[in-house]
Amino acid sequence: PDLFQAPDYYLLDDLLTDEHKLVRDSARAWVKREVSPIIEDYAQRAEFPKQIIKGLGEIGGFGPYIPEEYGGAGLDQISYGLIMQEIERGDSGVRSTSSVQSSLVMYPIWKYGNEEQRIKYLPKLATGEMMGCFGLTEPDHGSNPGGMTTNFKDKGDHYVLNGAKMWISNAPFADIAVVWAKNEEGRIHGLIVERGMEGFTTPETHNKWSLRASSTGELIFDNVKIPKENLLPNKSGLGAPLGCLDSARYGIAWGAIGAAMDCYDTALRYAKERIQFDKPIAATQLQQKKLAEMITEITKAQLLTWRLGVLKNEGKATTAQISMAKRNNVDMAINIAREARQILGGMGITGEYSIMRHSMNLESVITYEGTHDIHLLITGADITGMQAFK
Ligand code: TGC
Ligand code: FAD
């Protein structure tokens, strides 16, 4: 089939199982068929293509590693990574929808929820019949979520939630929100807030130059009455949302490789075809330097991420190891997008090619799920034993 060219310079395919390759190739074919032809138009119009939700569920884009008994795909962490890679080859905003639903909504319900909550929500989230969002960031607390002020009070047979979250992917259309808020003792808990609850609104954030095909919004809670059964009972404290971030950041490390691959693939093809001074620009040393460095960086990122996937499968991947991969790979992708765009000259700034869209998208990816700086500080704290945040 006419698939994307997948750079595999170090024959990484030899390390994958048949199942990994099957999962990846079906995600790849779906992205090529359903996402690539329409995504530029949706990004230009700043609209999320809701019609792809069902297909995202079918390729394992929602809860790939959640057990099948709860509607997930029951796949391993490398399959999860490969799905994220292929989706982000299409668009980082589509991968965001997948990351949020899988790692920030399904994961906490699976890990921190009770059996009733798992049965009530997970199967519908796995098909996309129900969509979710994750509210951690607040207007005054982004990198420092522990300072959050969103809070809930115990009113006997229910809780009352007040506060606001900002920059929330999928908020404008989500059916449920997993919201992190402090109780009267200042302890952080996760609550499932459902659309339609009185006092709960989700205004959309406009004027983004980045991640335009993803819908972003606020979550506003004005004395929202939350049934007690909507509290996630099995974990509390900042470690609960940070545990979800470990899973999402791992997926982003793979996803960024997909965006980089698409930029490299596009630039390589263009450079071979574009003639200037009577020869293909690919035959010039300057353009070869760019392309050679791109494939080198992609290959290094692939190896880093594959090894991280093995550690994750064995339950041994640490938060700091995940931070290193998220930080390295997103930085790698943003640099490749910038160089690739230059190879296309003026054509690179148009929507005829995907590169400028990837480049702008990656400005969000390098900021969300922990900024580039925060991940460096996580590595710094890990190797020195000294926290430099505070
Ligand atoms: P710190 O004192 O380090 O930790 C607080 C408590 O949490 C524990 N912990 C973890 N537990 C589980 N998993 C982890 N990864 C954990 N990391 C830390 C820790 O042991 C401690 O437990 P305890 O029992 O001692 O209290 O916390 P800190 O306040 O110093 O903050 C650390 C810092 C800055 C690294 C952290 O807050 C951070 O990562 N900040 C960045 C915020 C962030 O990433 N936000 C993302 C929002 S979601 C999003 O962006 C979605 S984008 C859409 C998409 O994904 O596509
Ligand atoms: P700030 O924390 O104010 O940081 C500003 C700058 O200061 C950064 O460069 C940062 O690195 C630096 N900085 C901060 N602290 C330190 C320090 N101690 N030392 C040195 N430098 C420091 N959040 C959610 O909860 N759910 C979502 O679904 C979600 N989706 C998002 C979608 C998009 C498109 C975007 C842009 C963001 C999304 N976020 C989401 C929020 C995202 O996680 C935050 O933007 C991010 O964590 C950074 O927070 P901030 O924007 O408040 O920046």
Tell me, what amino acid is at 134?
Answer: F
Rounded to an integer, what distance in angstroms lies between the CA atom of residue 161 and that of residue 220? 10
User: Can you tell me which residue has the tokens 């929602």?
Assistant: 62
Cα 278 to ligand 2 centroid, rounded to whole Å: 48
Rounded distance from Cα 298 to ligand 2 centre (Å): 26
Read off the amino acid at residue 2: D
* pLDDT confidence of residue 5: 67
pLDDT at 390: 85
**The tokens of 30 are what?**
């779906």
Pairing of strands 279-280, 275-276: antiparallel
| Angle formed by the axes of helices 92-99 and 239-273, nearest 10° | 160
Atom of ligand 1 nearest to the CA of 378: 35
Question: How many CA atoms, within 13 angstroms, populate the side-chain half-sphere of residue 320?
Answer: 11
Q: Whole-angstrom Cα distance, residue 120 to residue 44?
A: 37
pTM for the full model?
A: 0.97
Best residue for ligand 1 mutational test, from 238, 245, 329 (most atoms within 8 Å of Cβ): 238
Q: The tokens of 44 are what? A: 């230009």
Contact 53, 23 (CB under 8 A): no
- The interface predicted TM-score of the complex, written ipTM, equals 0.97
**Contact yes or no for 390/372 (Cβ under 8 A):** no
Using CA positions, which residue lies closest to atom 2 of ligand 2? 143
C-alpha closest to that of 353 among 364, 338, 341: 341
CA distance 68 to 313: 17
pLDDT of residue 13: 94
Side chain identity, residue 254: W
| Ligand 1 pocket, residues with Cβ under 6 angstroms | 96, 99-100, 134, 136-137, 143, 145-146, 169, 237-239, 242-243, 245-246, 248, 319, 368-370, 374, 378, 389
Specify the amino acid at residue 332. M
Q: What is the mean pLDDT of each run of 10 residues along the chain (390 residues)?
A: 73 96 96 97 98 98 98 97 98 98 98 98 98 98 98 98 98 98 98 98 98 98 98 98 98 98 96 98 98 98 98 98 98 98 98 97 98 98 96
Query: Which ligand is in closest contact with the Cα of 245?
Result: 1
Active site residues: 369
Task: Compute, in angstroms, the gap from residue 265 CA to the centroid of ligand 1.
Answer: 35
Tell me the residue type at 107.
Y
How long a stretch of residues is the chain?
390
DSSP code at position 72: S
